[in-house]
Each structure stands twice: as C-alpha cells, then as structure tokens.
Amino acid sequence: EIVLMQSPGTLSLSPGERATLSCRASQSVSSSYLAWYQQKPGQAPRLLIYGASSRATGIPDRFSGSGSGTDFTLTISRLEPEDFAVYYCQQYAGSPFTFGQGTRLEIK
Amino acid sequence: QVHLVESGGGLVKPGGSLRLSCAASGFAFSDYYMSWIRQAPGKGLEWVSYINSVGSTVDYADSVKGRFTISRDNARNSLYLQVNSLRPEDTAVYYCATGRYSSYWGQGTLVTVSS
C-alpha cells in the first residue's frame, strides 16, 4: 500500500499570497497517477488536478500541480477567499487508491 | 449534467448490515470505473472500494475487506455497497464517485453505527 503524507497539516496565509502544499509518497507513484482535491465544510470533495499536473474541467489556472515519483506539489498562485479549504492528495496508480491525511488552508 | 445520488444510510447497531445505493445519471455509467469513499466525522477521506466498468474487477481497503461488497447494475445505472458486520469505526459519510480518481462525487449518505 502506498502511504501519502501531506505537509504542512495546517497552512495559514492571507488572500493574494502563494500557497505551496506538499504530498510525499512512501513509494514511487507510477505514471504520476496522483490527484488533488479541495473540500469545503459540508460539501463533497472537488477534483482539482489529475495526472499530477492536469487541471480538471473548470478549475482556475491559479491552481497548478507538479512533481513525479514520490514528491508532488499543489500550488495556488494567488489565494482567493474561496480557496480556504482542506486539500487532499490521492494516488490511483495501484489499489488501494489511498488518500493523504489532508492540509487545512486557513485565513491568516 | 452528471448526477450521483446516494441512499440507504442510517443508524444501525454494531454487527448490523445496510445496502448503500448510488443512482447515476448524465453520463455513460457503463463506461466508468466507480468507487466508494468514506469520511468519518471530522476526519479525512478514506478510499473504501472500486469496481471496474463491467463489474469483473473489484478491490477493497483492508479495513473493510471481507465485510463490504461492491456491485453494479449497468442496466439500472446504479452502484451498490453491501456493508455487513458493521463496527462503530465504520461510522462515516459514504460517497460514491466516478473512476479511480474521482471527477464527480455524490453528496454522500451517512452511516451511523451505534448501540
């Protein structure tokens, strides 16, 4: 089983700042089969990024994903008020398709 | 427009069973892998199970293996999760979602396991 570790656990930033979220895998994620999701309170998660760097339909270009192997990053270039939420990474290279524990992005 | 609607959750005693359903519309259901993902109150996401497009390949998280069974009926555009031998730690919102990575999610159905 691939274990995903997200850091930091909580990130406190202000609107307009740049956010960098990390997801590290316990073993290489083949073909960069890594996704990122955003979840707001009381809502289902929303897909942001798949294939490590491809934006899902309708996702603003301030969201970008990068990385390969065991180290992946989600970057939000300029934070908007609606971006404050919890973010999860997920690998789907091999079952079980595990999630990271999440990073909470909060307003400073 | 893609729509996934879960049902079948509720309050059940430890050791009990439920059958969760997910009604799909707005896309070619029979072409998609489908997954169940759960979220315990105040906790993160936990992948539970997936099934391939024709129902011939399935897999489960170790935490539910032997107790949960995923299935689908492509003629009815429906996904199911039979959950048996329920434990308090199975208390969660259960989401159905498309694919191995999930472009579309339902709003979830709450399963509460308590005596």
| pLDDT string in tens for chain B (115-residue length) | 999 999 999 999 999 999 999 999 999 999 999 999 999 999 999 999 999 999 999 999 999 999 999 999 999 999 999 999 999 999 999 999 998 899 899 999 999 999 9
pLDDT digits (tens, 9 = 90+) for A57-102: 999 999 999 999 999 999 999 999 999 999 999 999 998 999 999 9
- Sort out which chain A residues have CB atoms less than 8 A from B95's CB and list them: 44-45
Q: How is residue B15 annotated by DSSP?
A: T
Exposed/middle/buried for A48, CB within 10 Å: 0-12, 13-18, 19+? buried
Nearest one of A4, A13, A15 to A37, comparing CA atoms: A4
B24, containing H or E segment: strand B18-25
B99, containing H or E segment: none
- Sort out which chain B residues have CB atoms less than 8 A from A102's CB and list them: 44-45
Amino acid at A106: E
Size of interface A-B (CB pairs under 8 A): 56
- Sort out which chain B residues have CB atoms less than 8 A from A56's CB and list them: 103
Facing A98 at nearest CB: one of B35, B47, B102: B47
Give the whole-angstrom CA distance, residue A38 versus residue A83: 8
Sequence-distant (6+) residues with CB within 8 A of B13 are B86, B113, B114, B115
Exposed/middle/buried for B109, CB within 10 Å: 0-12, 13-18, 19+? buried
